[in-house]
Amino acid sequence: MDLDEAQKQRVAAWITEGLKLSDIQKRLGSELGISMTYMEVRLLVDDLKLTPKDPERPPVPELGKNKAPAAPSNAAPAINEEDELRQPDDAMGGTAPAPRRVSVNVDQLARPGSLVSGKVTFSDGKSAQWYLDQSGRLGLIPQEAGYKPAASDVQAFQLELQDELARLGF
């Protein structure tokens, strides 16, 4: 279908407004009385050498790159989780044991309904069963009802699990 110059300029204005092709298709019908399929609208916009604008997406923060804001100089020093897990030096002057971390084990035989499963022990010593189902969803079944691991432990668990599964060829 051929459009006159005024109609072409109107379509170009709609594109610069940020309208989607489906919206342009509707406006062509309602405002100009021109019935076009979606594909015809796509070809029209291409013929006019116009490019629809992509909707702007909010920025997604990258994991691990978020830094805590610096504490004011008059504030007490912040204590991170590793510091809390360290034990004081023993009386003999030895060093404190290394902080416990998240450990992941993979079952030899996967739970029914899952591709792979296993056990995780979090840094606080509590454990849970984990599984990865056919849809790629990761699930946790804590041994203690209502237990929710710390966010840093969940992130560490996911990284450990990814490494372990890669090592096993998954």
Least confident of 9-13, 57-61, 72-76, 114-118: 72-76
Q: How many domains does the chain have?
A: 2
Q: Could you say which of 14, 29, 47 is where a domain stops?
A: 47
Amino acid of residue 129: Q
The structure tokens 């610069």 sit at: 16
> Tell me, what's the pLDDT at 60?
66
Instruction: Write the pLDDT tens digit of every residue in 100-147.
Output: 588 999 998 988 989 999 999 998 999 999 999 888 899 999 998 889
Predicted TM-score of the model (pTM): 0.42
The DSSP code sequence of the chain is ----HHHHHHHHHHHHHT--HHHHHHHHHHHS-----HHHHHHHHHHTT--PPPPPPPPPPPTT---PPPPPTTSPPP--HHHHHPPPPPTT-PPPPPPP--EEEE-SSPPTTEEEEEEEE-TTS-EEEEEEETTS-EEEEESSTT----HHHHHHHHHHHHHHHHHTT-
Tokens of 143: 């041994």
154: domain range? 103-167
